Structure 1
Amino acid sequence: MTVPYPIVDQRSLAPVPPKRLLGPKRTRGIEEIPQTAAGQRLIYRIDGDFLLDNSALPLDSTSVLDATHVSVVDVSSDVEVFVELDIPSKDADKFTMRLTFVCTVTDPIAVVRQGSPSAASALRAYIKSHHRIFELGLDYPLAEINTARLKLNAQVKAFTTVEPPTIVGVSVELASVEVLTPTEVSEFEQSMRQQEQHHRIQFGLQRSSQVLQHHKAEFEYVTAAEAQRAELERDADMRGYQRYQFTEQSRVVPNDALSALTNAYSVGDISAKELAERVTSLEADKLEYERAQAQERLERERTESRELAEWKRENKRLRWEAHRTDTAEEWLYRRRELEIKRERELRNREWSREDLAIEREDKRRELEAKIDIVRELAQRGYLDTANVNLEKVVDNMLAGTREQANPESAELTDLKAPELEAADNDEEANDEEEREEDVH
């Protein structure tokens, strides 16, 4: 709850009964006199006069006993008084302007004598007396609040400089002028910021996902290559081991089967026919073994070639899929940006059309006002004068209507334009000539 300023409290004091012969001493009760803080003073009204109490008058003082009214005045220095006004805007809404005044009571008795318990009410009426402040807001919609702030701030400061606020017994100075941000504008800007941040986060997540997929594909490619290299190395080691085993066995037995058979024939273990048959069989086995080795080597090379081709195709497919995903996501993000930009342009065009419609309506009203003025001048007979500048007279009457509150005084002022004065002088001169002719 806001504490009243500068008069914090006011009370009427009941008369104190006169002292009796054996009665108690005349005094007032503690509950009758309001309690004051360090920066507050009591003002007593005694027979139409006022007395300042600096906490020195006791309750049984003659002045306190004779007082019929007591007031508590706040005499603290630089007390802030807030005044809020609603300023109509261009789009049928309102700006909220908050003014802060710094007040100091210089004459508490004058404050009580004046009887103004609320400085905020007096300052609000003072600001409302400047009608130009309420007209400035009509030039700006809520979206242009920053421009409206500058205009209203400058207008209020200029007004308080030319016509400073005055409150009897109180010194007043303007401390600050604030135009509060409307709730819908604040919520709209906050929503736009949140959407922009959301888009940035989504874009960052998409970029991170793309980088992660790229690293994953590269890791799988490197892993597969290393696995294949390890498999080839194992095959090479196995073949090397087989060659080593064959070499070790060759050291124990003769170098070849033919030599063994020849050795056996020389010692008589086999006959010549058996030798020939054995040699023929060995040659056939050798040829079959060589064909089998060649076939196995060919099959192994074909298998390795197919596996390598399949791995290359799969790697190419994975890279193409990643590229297509990146392109699609980037297209969707750009499409969303274009939609947001198109929405802003449509909103700006709508606002421009509304401003143009309002401007046309103002011009139509001004034209109707001029036509009404011309019709009124014609009814009064002022258009019969040949020297009347009709457009200038209409403009002067419109300007006088805006500046003066009394239409009758404005009409009289406008009719004293230079063109009408010249017409009146010509009519007077013609009347004098006619009177002279009648005399002769």
Structure 2
Amino acid sequence: MAERYPLVEQREYGRPEKRGGILKKRAMRDDDELPRLAAHQVRVFRVGEEYVEDQGQLGADDPVVVGASSVTVVDRRVEVPVLVETRIPSAEAGEFTVRAWFYCTVTDPCAVVRDGVTDVEALLLAHLREVPGLTEDGSDLLFVDSAAVRARIDARLTAYHEMRPAVVSGMRARHGLIEVLTPAEMSAIVEDMARERRERERDRQREELEQQAALDRALREAELELKREEIRNLKALRMERNRQEEELDKERNRQEFDTLRTRYERLSGAEQQEHDLALEGQRNRFTRAELGQDFELIGSDPLAAAFLAWRSGDIDADEVFKRLHAAEKDRHTRQDDRLRFDREEELRRRTLDRDDHRWEVERDDQRKELQRREQRDEAAADRAEEARRWDLDHEDRLRRRQEDRADAERLQRDEREWAKEQLAARADLTRQAIDRGLFDSTAYDAGAFINSVGDVSYNQRQREAPAADVKGELHRSPRQAPKDAAAAPEGEDDDGFDPANQEAHLGN
């Protein structure tokens, strides 16, 4: 079977880079970041918590590929053989080696990647060891009975696999061939495998040496060809260099001639420009001197400027008169504006002073009003607190009166109930005494006992103990009488009942 099954290749992605023009940059991956697929393989991209299967149709700029954090190549071949080996005890000093073949097929690549099914052989080995009774199939047989052991294990695995197939996430595993090997057969197989491995290693080394020799020969031929090409290039380069040097000499001579001519023209032009600038400077200095003298004489006086313009011939006498009249009118207007501004400033200052005084007065009135309001609020709060305390005291007095009245009513009710209970107890005692024939004796006064039955106050509760004693004596059965009846004194009945004693108790 393949060394990497079912996961052939796994890659982890980082953040994609933006590529494209200045105005159309977008995130995408390189084509080299997408693993190549064989005809029986698929790619599974992980995008967040989802897994997307790709048959090789998604490109490097697809949103799924750009947003993926990893990609996995899954092998989807059908019935891929997987060999699982385990050992079971035998009746001899050794163990049988059980080799089971499972034929696996990937049914859900996304589930395989999500659950990380990287070692199918380990999962199938765990499933094989979970078969109940597998280790006991060969414990009673010898190595010569390996065929019987194989038949037992084959039957057991077939039945178990039909009831509980091998469960591997995203895969279907079918039970196949079973081999049972003795230690000697297993040793021979191991030796054959080692020999085959050594032969494959020797063949691989020989192929590598041959490939290395062919590569060295190709490298030497390529180096020889490169040297020949280098010689040809050097010749062509030397000829081209000579031609370029000739052209450079011609161009250099032409540039030197142009440079000399340009330098002469520049020097001559500079001298002419310096002469022109000197003349212009003299004219400008004269003009500035004249302007400075005129400014010192005239200053900022518009009338002097008008007279200067009239003397220079720029304006006539009518224009000078108009300017003089306008200047006089402007002077009077400025004086009027200055006086009006002074009056407005004085009125504004007085208004501000009045506003400040009125604001101070209003602030004092507000402060006094706030103080009076606080005093009224404090007085109202004190009155409300006194009223609340009076209400609480009144409610406490009412509650205490109600509690006292309820206690008195409860006490009276308890006294009446207690008196009724005492009367009922006396009546019960009287009935029991009559039933026992206590009043048949002449020594006991029944009338006095009946007259003694009356209202009993609640304060006679302390006499409950004697009444209980009398009640206990009346309810005593003849069986509970003293055993020494012959030793009883005269005047007592045979059943141990003493009327005199009962009368004394009832009197109490």
Q: TM-score, normalised by structure 2?
A: 0.34
Q: Work out which of the two has the higher radius of gyration on C-alpha atoms and give 1 or 2.
A: 2
If asked which structure has higher relative contact order (CA below 8 Å, sep 6+), I would say: 1
Q: State the TM-score, normalizing by the size of structure 1.
A: 0.39
